[in-house]
Structures are given as C-alpha cells and as structure tokens.
Chains A and B, each alone.
Chain A
Amino acid sequence: GESVGLHLPTLSVQEGDNSIINCAYSNSASDYFIWYKQESGKGPQFIIDIRSNMDKRQGQRVTVLLNKTVKHLSLQIAATQPGDSAVYFCAEVYGNNRLAFGKGNQVVVIP
C-alpha cells in the first residue's frame, strides 16, 4: 500500500498498550492543528483537531496535546488496537487557511 512506500519513521506497539505519536510544527503563527490517519490504500481521515488557545483535547481513545512553547504536537492513542495500524499525519493551519502537512509516522500494532 501507499503507506509502506512512504519510508516513514515507524512506531511498533503491542496491542493494548498506549501509543504516542509526535509532531513538530514550524509556524509559530499556526492557530489550528489536525491529526489525520491514513490506512493503506485510502485517503487521510480526520481524527481530532485542536485550536491554539487549548493545550489538550480528548476524543474517543485519542488525546491531542499542544505545546506552543516548543511547537510540538502529540497524539496519544489509548489501548491500541490492530485497526489503529496506519500512517498518522499532523497538519498545521496558518494564515488564510493555509495548510502544511507533516511527513507522517507509521504505527504498527503487534497482536
């Protein structure tokens, strides 16, 4: 699938453990951040977002943390499942809705 061909950093995690995926962004003026999940052969799917006036946001089994001081974003996945195996991208939104994507991280869940 496309994700294998992208030559990405890989995080291997045991099923049931928590996963943490990190992302460094570049623009201090970015005011909105998004995490996407891309499964093999599919397009990116929205997971969770966070605005710059927040430092934490929780969804179903996922939490996004934002540290504006060091321009760092992380995605935590609780109780990782085989269906969580995918490539995860962060994206920052700045200016007039300009979007910049990170290169992505491959997550492999070991049953």
Chain B
Amino acid sequence: NAGVTQTPKFQVLKTGQSMTLQCAQDMNHEYMSWYRQDPGMGLRLIHYSVGAGITDQGEVPNGYNVSRSTTEDFPLRLLSAAPSQTSVYFCASRPRDSSYNSPLHFGNGTRLTVT
C-alpha cells in the first residue's frame, strides 16, 4: 500500500496565483484532513472531511477550499496565494469508526513558498 500520497513535493507560487495540492489515500479511510506546519507552532488543521461529499472547516480555513468527490482524494485549493501561506502542508487520513480512537496517517508533505 502506498498510504497517503501528496503531490507536488515542492511548489513556488507568486502572490495571487492559484493552485491545487493533491492528496490521495489507498486505505479506504473515511476521514481525511489538511494541516499546515509552521515554525514555532504545532500542526494546525485547515479543513477536514468525514466522508465523500462532506467537508468542514478546521482552525485556519481562510484562503483555502477543499472538496471530497471520492473516498480516495482530498485536494486542497489555494484560491489566491499569499506570502502568509508559505508553509509545509500535510494531508492525513484515518478510519472514521467512532467506536475507537485511531491515529492519523500522514503524507510526506508539500513545501509551498509564495513570493
């Protein structure tokens, strides 16, 4: 199994450009999420989804959109990139089953620089 796959690994954007960060998982996990990682801060939740067709906002959703048309894919869109969005982005997934807790499985991240 590939687990959680993120593309691209690196990206440089100019202010105002848009782009989509891709995330795919092959574990049939219902729950998927996007985090950003910045110096001096813990991972912060941007958006999440508990299943196909369902998305919700996390802690820092502004400037980002998501959609979940399939169980496998959860793309993150930056509508108009800003320097404040320079960060490392991680996609993560886990089973949704609420009868027990389960840890998140993370991808290897996308390092985004906005100039």
Contact = CB atoms under 8 A, between A and B. Distances in A.
Interface of A: 2, 5-7, 31-32, 34, 36, 41-46, 49, 51, 89, 93, 97, 99-104
A51 B101 CA distance: 9
A2 B45 contact: no
Main secondary structure of the interface of B (DSSP, over half): loop
A100 B42 contact: yes
B90 A43 contact: yes
Contacts of A6: 37, 39-40
A46 B40 contact: no
B108 A43 contact: yes
Contact of B4 (A43, A89, A93, A97): A43
Interface of B: 4, 31, 37, 39-43, 45, 88, 90, 92, 98, 101, 103-109, 111
A20 B108 CA distance: 26
Given A42-B108, A45-B106, 19 more contacts: A2-B88, A2-B111, A7-B39, A7-B40, A32-B101, A34-B104, A42-B109, A44-B43, A44-B90, A44-B104, A46-B104, A49-B101, A49-B103, A89-B42, A97-B101, A100-B42, A101-B42, A102-B42, A103-B42
A43 B111 CA distance: 11
- Of the candidates B45, B104, B107, B111, the one having the most CB atoms from chain A within 10 angstroms of its own CB is B104
B104 to A, nearest CB: 7
B40 A103 contact: yes
